[in-house]
Structure 1
């Protein structure tokens, strides 16, 4: 059985270790974060402070975009866009990794604490009973401060998060 995490698409592109997990994984991403990939790719602002690292990340984002634009994958993504909260069929990213895109909607439930994409991630986490995986410590802190009843993990703790014993029942 695969582990499921709600994550932003750009993090799947940036963190290579997420594509070679020690156990099968399904990443659930809001569609808006897939669209953000195009913004990151076309932005003159660097994503990383080191130029070599930045170029590597931009290349990885371009690779993910290219993969998602392949006809079969594009068709899967388009299927998710027909109805709010619908999910795409799984897109295979590796031997043990699948990606599911959700056409989520920000309902402003956590507007005081979270930005629209963070709100969508929390709502998907609640709907899918899957923890959030992020590298944004401020996001984790806001979830804790708002007492939002979901699990959240820092990407640095990814291998720990794969452990069966810590998942919601």
Structure 2
């Protein structure tokens, strides 16, 4: 069974340990966070503070963009984008990692407290009833403060999240 998490696409590129999980995983990614990869790739602004790390992460961003642009994957994504909240068919990276792209729609209920990407992440996690992975403490604090009913894990606790108690919704056969 695969463990499912909602996550921003750039975090998969930024944190290498997410690409070597101890059990099968499905990263559920709102489409807008994939579009954000192009902005990061094309921007002269660094993604990481350390120039060496920045170069490595930008390389991983390019690899992830190429993965999503693969003709089969692109077709699956385009099909999902035809209907709000549709999930793509699985995009297989390897035998343990797959991505599911969601055509998430911003929700005005949370739009005032959170930026559009954050809103799509949390609404996706709520709608699909699966946990969220993040590295942004301020975002996690805002989730707690706003009492948003979403289970969130820090990226550094990824292995713990993989082993944590499963619910029926966050597992996929």
Tell whether the structures are fold-level matches, with TM greater than 0.5. Answer: yes
**Which residue does the alignment assign to 2:118?**
118
**Which residue does the alignment assign to 1:43?**
43
* Shift, 1:112, TM fit: 2.7
Runs of 4+ in 1 over 6 A off after TM superposition: none
**Which residue does the alignment assign to 1:34?**
34
Give the paired residue count.
Answer: 168
Deviations 1:105-132 (A, max 9, x none): 0021112321111111111111111000
Q: Is the 8 A contact 1:10 1:61 kept in 2?
A: yes
Measured in 2, the distance between the counterparts of 1:162 and 1:107 equals 28
In structure 2, stretches of 5+ residues that fail to align are 169-173
* Shift, 1:87, TM fit: 0.9
Measured in 2, the distance between the counterparts of 1:153 and 1:6 equals 10
Q: Secondary structure at the match of 1:110?
A: helix
Q: Is the 8 A contact 1:108 1:116 kept in 2?
A: no
Q: Cα RMSD between the aligned structures? A: 1.1
Measured in 1, the distance between the counterparts of 2:104 and 2:50 equals 33
* Shift, 1:155, TM fit: 0.1
2:76 aligned with 1:68: no
Measured in 2, the distance between the counterparts of 1:39 and 1:73 equals 20
Measured in 1, the distance between the counterparts of 2:93 and 2:17 equals 13
Measured in 2, the distance between the counterparts of 1:55 and 1:155 equals 21
In structure 1, stretches of 5+ residues that fail to align are none
Measured in 1, the distance between the counterparts of 2:21 and 2:158 equals 9
**Which residue does the alignment assign to 1:25?**
25
Deviations 1:44-82 (A, max 9, x none): 100111111100000000011011111111111111110
**Which residue does the alignment assign to 1:157?**
157
* Shift, 1:14, TM fit: 1.4
TM-score for both structures, normalised by structure 2? 0.94
Measured in 2, the distance between the counterparts of 1:48 and 1:126 equals 30
Measured in 2, the distance between the counterparts of 1:13 and 1:134 equals 13
